[in-house]
Amino acid sequence: AAAMISDLEAMGFKAICWSTPYLDYTDDSAVREGMQPDTGGLFEEADAAGHFVTDSYGNTMRMPWKSGFGAGRIDFTRPEAVAFWQDLIGRVTSMGIVGFKLDYGEEIVPGAFGATTIFHFSDGSDAQTLHKLYSVLYHRAYRERCLEDAGESFIIGRSSTYGGQRDVEAIWPGDLDNDFLRHMEPDPDEDGKGAVGGLPAAICALQNLSVSGFPAFGSDTGGYRGGQPSKEVLLRWAEHTALTPIMQLGGGGDHHNPWDLEVYDQETLEVYRDYARLHTRLFPFFYTLAEAASESGVPPVLPVGMFDPGDIEAPGWWDEYVIGGAFLVAPVHDAGATERPVRFPAGTWVDWWTGASHEGRSTETVAAPIGTLPLFVLRGAVIPMLKGDVDTLAETADTGTITLDDRQETLYLHIVPAEAGGITLFEGTAVEVLDGADGLVVTLRRGGWFERFVAEIDW
């Protein structure tokens, strides 16, 4: 594992691991082939030391959590348990792991199926008092160890609560369906039971979390439940996640890799690559929004009804959102669709692909074949971007990819002129655009990163 992580880092990747707050007693208590010799007996060690959440009799609560497995959950209110767990986390952070995708943590519930649940913690807390805070303590243990070992962290969790933003960089919604079903819509694969929801649920969750104080969100591109998604689902979902703060592939089935040409085709690979690169090119834009959210609480993503509260029709358009007050995104989420209606909020919106203009507070049907996300820029916006061929935002020893110095050299500015506009980036670069008597005037104040500037003007 250490060699693999080192090789990935040299290629410009940083690796994170999936993890849960549990220790299996039915499987991981024994050393199996490929495991470290000191891995065996961890459950027994933690059980004897009192590191697990207990029942009302003081016994470790043994929970079934996946087929054929049972586990104890760590009591993160117990300092000794946190120290024990962080020592285990250190086994991978010492190899170069800089973050974690933290699953579960939301199951400390006061009641279930009509019965009261009994959870006891070492600090005297119970399910009523620690219901939402358990996930915060869980995330914090990992974040602290990452910062201690690497000086940085990336924690993505699936549950949190008010205040938890300090300990988790991003949220993802857990296991969504790998399709276009809406929440509670009859699922044909589940004997008509209500669906968890696929891409439509992800579009809703992005907006709900952004305006609830969690600015960084990313669903599994392609969903999870049901295994590998179809080409159409994968690409429509990628069009959506490319224009969200976090773009990550899902993991249901063997994989969701668009580069596996035995499962998908060349078009899948090329379309996914284009959107992945667009997402990476927009790093200065997304990171500027993240800084603003951290400093002032401004949500980076807004439903169109909150962006333009004066439009009485806008609240009904749940499947559109505005990013940074600059992009209007209208993902396609219906099977077989090659067009969709778009509600334009106040202002003039310019098609990212064609340059066509659309006036605000109007509804128009736009073409949207697979590979073309309905995406529009507000007139007056300035979109900061990186080079078009950027592959990584990390240091790399591979001279065939973009290095840190190359990436910092040039800032591309996509400008849709109006009477006035501008932006100040996370590293201090300020751009002001004015429509002067003799033409467009662009004023730049250099920040602490970029050396050169290229302006792309979209009239």
Dihedral sign computed on CA atoms, order 437, 440, 445, 446: negative
Dihedral sign computed on CA atoms, order 306, 312, 313, 316: positive
Amino acid 375: pLDDT: 98
Decide: 160 and 171 in contact? Cβ < 8 Å: yes
Amino acid 11: pLDDT: 87
Q: What is the mean pLDDT of residues 7-17?
A: 90
Q: Which residue has the higher pLDDT, 141 or 36?
A: 141
Q: Which residue has the higher pLDDT, 28 or 265?
A: 265
Residue 373: what are its φ and ψ, rounded to 5°? -75, 130
Decide: 256 and 223 in contact? Cβ < 8 Å: no
Report helix, strand or coil for 408: helix
Containing 378, the helix (H) or strand (E) segment is strand 375-378
Residue 29 pLDDT greater than 70, yes or no: no
**Distance from C-alpha of 391 to C-alpha of 423, rounded to nearest angstrom:** 25
* Closest-CA residue to 134 (of 117, 115, 152): 117
Dihedral sign computed on CA atoms, order 356, 359, 361, 364: negative
* Closest-CA residue to 433 (of 408, 412, 415): 415
Q: At 34, which amino acid appears?
A: G
Q: What is the pLDDT of residues 68-110, one digit of tens each?
A: 778 999 999 999 999 999 999 999 999 999 999 999 999 898 8
**Distance from C-alpha of 414 to C-alpha of 382, rounded to nearest angstrom:** 6
Report helix, strand or coil for 52: strand
DSSP conformational letter for 39: G
The pLDDT mean for the chain works out to 91
Report helix, strand or coil for 288: helix
What does DSSP say about strands 69-73 and 62-66: parallel, antiparallel, or unpaired?
antiparallel
Amino acid 112: pLDDT: 80
Q: At 278, which amino acid appears?
A: L
The strand pairing partners of 422, in sequence order, are 432
**Distance from C-alpha of 87 to C-alpha of 93, rounded to nearest angstrom:** 10
**Distance from C-alpha of 15 to C-alpha of 113, rounded to nearest angstrom:** 39
* Closest-CA residue to 325 (of 376, 387, 359, 374): 376
**Distance from C-alpha of 439 to C-alpha of 444, rounded to nearest angstrom:** 16
Confidence of residue 399 (pLDDT cuts 50, 70, 90): low
Decide: 231 and 263 in contact? Cβ < 8 Å: no
Q: What is the mean pLDDT of residues 306-325?
A: 96
Residue 5: what are its φ and ψ, rounded to 5°? -60, -40
